[in-house]
Amino acid sequence: MAHAAPVPPTDPVPPTQAPAEGVSIDINGIDGTPSSSILTLLGITLLSVAPAILLMMSSFTKIFVVLAMARNALSLPSIPPNQVLAGLSLFLSLFIMWPVLTDINTVAVQPYVDGALTFQQAFDLGQGPLREWMLQYTREEDLALLTRAADQPNPDDPATVPMYTLIPAFMISELRAAFIIGFVIFVPFLIIDLVVASALMAMGMMMLPPVMISLPFKILLFILVDGWGLIITSLLESYAGGGG
């Protein structure tokens, strides 16, 4: 019986070199557009970090602080309640930042949904409008403070400022501006308190709390000068009108 001739083994093939940038994961579908499950996951992730983004990267903090200080200046610690102030601050923030949100949707979100951009490209482009808006209302002194605290070299231009430096610098600038507006709001009500306290002391009515007498006059003054309108107008003008 004939036997087949043995086949000599072949030489091993050398392994291919791995890409220099490492392992990458493509989250887009076959046609280049992200799948619905990926969009749902990104939406849920965005909702989970939305409160932090709202507090640190928008006008919400400044508006809420100013409204809360106006409430305290009126000696009304719980009227309007925090829910009302937070709701008003939220919608004023949306009104102010609507152009920024529109730009982000135009340059990053819609191209990514259409498959024209990768997720990383959309993320980088989406930072642009928000970064420009935040830089407009961030003081150079606060940027320098955070840069020195991080022991980083001075940036060559605003576009090179890292977000981990820009965000806290923006928050410090917003709090400073909020306290300046709050101080201006406090002054007329403080004068009313001083006048009422002096009058009560002169009349010998030292046991009567001055707040009980001055509160109606504060509310009357606030109504006569259209206090809420003045405060909201000042906040909108501090952001160049907002919504435009």
Give, for 1, the enclosing helix (H) or strand (E). Answer: none
For residue 77, give Cα distances in angstroms to 63, 64, 196, 230. 17, 14, 20, 20
CA distance 196 to 193: 5
pLDDT score, position 233: 87
Residue with tokens 């980088």, as numbered in its chain: 124
The number of distinct structural domains making up the chain is 1
Note down the domain range covering 146.
57-238
Any domain includes 27: no
Any domain includes 29: no
Any domain includes 160: yes
Q: What percent of the chain has pLDDT over 70?
A: 75
pLDDT score, position 244: 45
Residues 2-9: what's their mean pLDDT?
62
Any domain includes 39: no
Least confident segment among 34-43, 116-125, 189-198: 34-43
pLDDT score, position 28: 56
Q: How do residues 188-216 score in pLDDT, each as one tens digit?
A: 888 888 887 787 777 777 676 767 777 88
